Chains A and B, each alone.
Chain A
């Protein structure tokens, strides 16, 4: 029983990390039909900011990571995605792929490709006793941060004017513009939000793994992409659910598979994904605005 709760805590915290990542990708896809590979580099650059600011007070480090995440998100939007706003989704996809590799290779050029250790907030690795079950403090923090961000994002989308405009833009961008929604502002806001989500994921992942390396973001994002696809591209609840399921699935497989095939767990997750898509090609929660009208 205790072991089961332990696995469940693992699954929940990893699932939340993927849900946050998938949500950042889903936000951007919603407003501009862009699958943003460069979301991974937002995570990576935030993590390297933590490394650069290491030793300074905690609020400075967190603010720095957040600022870099947001600034980089806005900069990539301005430089690489705004000029292509009317291009087809495949062109946008290629552009984000190029941006992602440009940033990643730039980082390798500047700081090298080796792993770097970063002992960020080691106190969170401690175990705490919660009604008889020993849990890692970090797992509780991860789930709590994810819930706060999810609730905050939902509040923003439901209760603010800009949030309403963003939902409108996700449903029908052209119509939203006709009704007076400022495209640049809505898209920039979406990118800033994805920067915040990326910075949060970055801090949590650095605490968990204790290392940074230039490819860390891309690895997360590839898995999260698959989450957004099975959740239903363009649907935010779908992205969160899909990301969460992929994370939970990989942890459960890790725990339940016999040891000699455990290393293949990602392969099983992806095969599961292919099966889901076979029966629901539009994803688990299809987006309203994207339903094909053919």
Chain B
């Protein structure tokens, strides 16, 4: 009996988090269409936060570059899945192979994630050698480069014009499926030897190095997996909105995703999921108040834009008073009694 229980204890955070996410999607499926769309968007954000967590949580290095991988995923999948007729109208100068491609949405999503991961491998190679804070700033450079390239590469991305007419296939269930996949990937990865060594280097770089941990290699592994998950999140966001604009993959999205991870707690997968859920709920409440909230006989209305200010303030308060976020760097605890041994 004992080994079985130990296995269950180990897997508990995974199943608990999957249960929460599935429950959210199930509840949302009974709500009006507007709320369903918000939930879908929330799940996509959750995938993006989990993607960011895979690198940030395990390595301890903050990345501002993951939204660039989202952009890569979104553009790749859009170009591969759009109807050739639509592409010949919007992007007449597209290379022939891409212009004639009409992949299935699933293949497009995998390709988006794969190209994002490949980019992560190529740019991560030099950047992962940098020490902590320098590496964070360098990841910001990835974001800027992606923004500049996508915003000006008119033949392929439409440049400053939006890329329209991609199949808007993402609903609650698609987002749920990918969210489950993302959580499983993040959990399985963090149970591997490579992730354990990486977390050791996060706690004490000198000690880990002295013990023979190849920090650069393990960081790179985390970065590539993180880029893949972020890429898929970008694919879903593009196909959810039905439109890809370079502006929607820049500073505001970066701020949102980073804030979610920090507020939830960057040290654990539970934290990543908690941050995405809590902020989604908070944002939705604020949105209701911005429209106008009836409370007894008084109507409470706050100016638009207050939500962002409050989000930034919450993030600041969290980092000042609870630097490890809501989850405090821990995974969900086994609720059925203490360890028997």
Question: A-side interface residues toward B, CB under 8 Å?
Answer: 33, 35, 80, 83-84, 87, 89-91, 93-95, 97-99, 101-102, 105-106, 108-109, 215, 218, 222-223, 225-226, 228-229, 233, 263-264, 266-267, 270-271, 273-275, 277-278, 281, 292, 294
Contacts and interface: CB of A to CB of B under 8 A. Distances in A.
Contacts of A94: 62, 258, 262, 315, 319
Contact of B320 (A80, A90, A97, A101): A80
A193 to B, nearest CB: 21
B10 interface: no
B140 interface: yes
Contacts of A33: 133
Interface in B142-175: 144-145, 148-149, 151-153
B267 to A, nearest CB: 11
A87 B324 CA distance: 12
B145 A270 contact: yes
A53 to B, nearest CB: 24
A277 B132 contact: no
Interface string B181-206: 00000000000000000000000011
B309 A109 contact: yes
Which residue, of B152, B313, B319, has the highest number of chain A Cβ atoms within 10 A?
B319
Contact of A108 (B205, B210, B258, B305): B305
Contact of A99 (B61, B126, B145, B316): B316
Interface of A is mostly: helix
Interface in B320-341: 320, 323
A35 B133 contact: yes
Nearest to B153: A264
Interface in B44-81: 60-62
9 closest cross-chain pairs (CB), A and B:
A102-B312, A263-B152, A105-B308, A98-B316, A98-B315, A109-B305, A278-B126, A101-B312, A270-B141
Given A266-B144, A294-B210, 9 more contacts: A33-B133, A89-B133, A101-B312, A108-B305, A222-B140, A222-B144, A264-B152, A274-B138, A281-B131
Given A108-B308, A274-B138, A266 B145 contact: yes
14 contacts: A80-B316, A90-B136, A93-B62, A93-B136, A105-B305, A108-B308, A109-B303, A226-B138, A263-B148, A267-B149, A270-B145, A274-B138, A281-B131, A294-B205
B132 A95 contact: no
Contacts of A223: 144
Interface in B201-225: 205-206, 209-210
Contacts of A105: 305, 308-309, 311-312
Interface of B: 60-62, 123, 126-127, 129-134, 136-138, 140-141, 144-145, 148-149, 151-153, 205-206, 209-210, 251, 255, 258-259, 262, 303, 305-306, 308-309, 311-313, 315-316, 319-320, 323
A57 B141 CA distance: 40
B309 A267 contact: no
A226 B141 contact: yes
Nearest to B142: A270
Contacts of A225: 137, 140
Contact of B259 (A80, A98, A218, A267): A98
B251 A91 contact: no
A126 B323 CA distance: 52
Contacts of B312: 98, 101-102, 105
Nearest to A271: B145
Nearest to B210: A294
A95 B316 contact: yes
B76 to A, nearest CB: 18
Nearest to B131: A292
B261 to A, nearest CB: 10
A278 to B, nearest CB: 4
B158 to A, nearest CB: 14
A290 to B, nearest CB: 9
A267 B152 CA distance: 11
Contacts of A233: 133-134
Contacts of B141: 226, 270, 273-274
B132 A84 contact: no
Contacts of B129: 277-278, 281
A273 to B, nearest CB: 6
Given A106-B309, A218-B251, A91 B319 contact: yes
A227 to B, nearest CB: 10
B130 A277 contact: yes
Contacts of A266: 144-145, 148
Nearest to A102: B312
Nearest to A262: B152
B273 to A, nearest CB: 19
B320 A102 contact: no
Which residue, of A33, A90, A278, has the highest number of chain B Cβ atoms within 10 A?
A90
